A and B are shown apart, each in its own frame.
Chain A
Amino acid sequence: MSEWLENHLPKIVLAPSFIGVLVFVYGFIAWTAWVSLTRSKLLPRYEIKGFVQYEKLFDSPRWDTAMNNLFIFGTLFIVIAMVLGLLLAIMLDQKIRTEGVIRTIYLYPMALSMIVTGTAWKWILNPGLGIEATVRGWGYENFSFDWVVNPDYAIYTIVLAAVWQSSGFVMALFLAGLRSVDGEIIKAAQVDGIPTWRIYSAIIIPSMAPIFLSAFIVLAHLAIKIFDLVIALTGGGPGYATDLPATYMYAMAFSRGDIGQAASSAMIMMLVVFTIVVPYLYSELRSKNDG
């Protein structure tokens, strides 16, 4: 008996987590998928009615806004954070004497809650007393910067705050990548008199392709899940101007009492995440098992 126990101990130790993941991840996804096919409102109902919720979702102007916003926000956020992160990493890679301090400064926003970030930027961007009022106070009376309360521009303030929060992290990723490039090759190139920018563009950056992919995956994942920053910075407003899929889902689930819509919007979010993450995870796991 005790030998049997000893032999099966690894399985027994892993079992609770395995069951937990099966139930609370996969079982729950199945539950949500099921409910998204019903006419559930305030309470879940379990008779399948086909894709009515999805039809309603795609007919909803508010969901349309949310998906458009996700596209605008996601694209700008990923591109700007990557470009800025790479730029900062390359600048920091030039044997900067105060590198440690600068790196600490660039990265600290990542330690903050998005609610804190949103609160801070909401204050800075508010037209009455923030940047707009300050610049006007300097004598530029016509200066206008009311993006955070302007339905056409509010989504860009979320990009601004999200980039502020995450670009230091991208910098750290890229910096680690730059440092991992074989020093011998770089030295050889320097001896041959190849200019620094050519060394970066032709040798170092191409060899960092996997890190670009990682950074992209992490940022895309952040973009799709972004919720707290929107809540703290704009509350999804003005109106629904900065609604994103995550805030739409939350509103349907907890304030509108429309479980069917909440479930179907959550399923769409998962679909978006998986189309990006699954190919990546698949190649990761395969290359790890090979190695």
Chain B
Amino acid sequence: MMADLSLNQSASEANFGKIALRWLLYALLGLFALYYLLPLFVMVTTSLKSLEEIRTGSLVTLPREVTFDAWKTAWSGACTGIQCEGLRPYFWNSVLLAVPAVFLSTLIGALNGYVVAQWKFKGANLIFSLMLFGCFIPFQVVLLPMARMLGLMGIAGTIPGLIFVHVIYGIGFTTLFFRNYYVTIPSELVKAAKVDGANFFRIFWSIFLPLSLPIIVVTVIWQFTQIWNDFLFGVSFSQAGTQPITVALNNIVNSTTGVKEYNVDMAAAIIAALPTLFVYVVAGKYFIRGLTAGSVKG
């Protein structure tokens, strides 16, 4: 307080400018927060309104009367084409698809990364480069032969077929994650363990795996988000009954039979988004690390 009083005129003006700038900054940040939040807000409020209120009310008002009917319909009654079972069966399809696919691709990625980072042999770098390259192809270029291959293997249109596809095209990224993590572990560790008589798997199991928790979390989150949110593989390689949730959601929204139920569409969209949103809220730090891991040098 005393210090404030003794400030001279020009300093307090500069101070005022600084404070005004600060306010402007916060106002701008707040505006952008609104821009990002508005669609979510509209989705939630729309899903809680009755159709009647949607038709007569406005997009941005809160529901006059909160009703969960739309959520019930979205979960167990909405029509995807001719079937009207809601999202529930497809939600479980996605769970049955994502859990094994995430587990397998993470496990394979960990072993691959361990080899490429710590057990280099001639050609290991070339193999890694080839795998890395595979991360960047537009999947359109493999859709047609994969459709035939799944047919030949007898798993076309099945959930195991989709698991297979997600594992195959996921290991490039998972290998990259683990490789980049394991190269930071000094190679003397492996040498010392070998001298002590530990073998390849023993060293992996007792030394590397216990150190790997952060990268396992990053990889699992990354893979889960990718697989849960995937649409291209889901729509190309599934059939009625085995579709993942994103495909079912799209079918519900674009179903042309009956009245357009916007509140059901929004409830269904939120249901489809909840698992990944939940992961993001609980483990955001790891989510961001996964996003940036592939793209920031390091």
Contact = CB atoms under 8 A, between A and B. Distances in A.
Interface of A: 6, 9-11, 13-14, 16-18, 20-22, 24-29, 31-32, 35, 44, 88, 91-92, 94, 96, 102, 104-117, 119-124, 129-131, 133-134, 137, 164, 168-169, 172-173, 176-177, 210-211, 214-215, 217-218, 221, 224-225, 227-228, 231-232, 235, 245-246, 249-250, 253-254, 259, 262-263, 265-267, 269-270, 273-274, 277, 281, 284-285, 287, 289
Interface in B114-168: 114-116, 119, 121, 124-125, 127, 129-134, 136-149, 168
B116 A116 contact: no
A109 B36 contact: yes
How many interface residues does chain B have, given as a range?
Answer: 35 or more
23 contacts: A16-B108, A18-B131, A24-B149, A28-B142, A32-B145, A94-B25, A107-B280, A108-B40, A116-B270, A119-B250, A129-B59, A173-B292, A218-B294, A225-B139, A228-B232, A250-B235, A250-B236, A253-B144, A253-B236, A273-B137, A274-B136, A287-B297, A289-B125
B137 A29 contact: yes
Interface stretch (B2-10, B27-35, B63-71, B208-216): B27-35
Specify the main secondary structure of chain A where it touches its partner: helix
> 7 shortest A-B CB distances, which residue pairs?
A113-B229, A10-B119, A111-B280, A228-B231, A25-B134, A266-B140, A28-B142
Nearest to B252: A119
Interface in B262-298: 262, 265-266, 268-270, 272-273, 276-277, 279-281, 284, 287-288, 291-292, 294-297
A106 B295 contact: no
A25 B119 CA distance: 24
Contact of A32 (B112, B116, B142): B142
B39 A164 contact: yes
B169 interface: yes
Contact of A214 (B58, B60, B231, B295): B295
B246 A115 contact: yes
B94 to A, nearest CB: 10
Interface in B23-58: 25-26, 28-29, 32-33, 35-40, 42-43, 46, 54-55, 58
A172 B121 CA distance: 36
Nearest to A161: B39
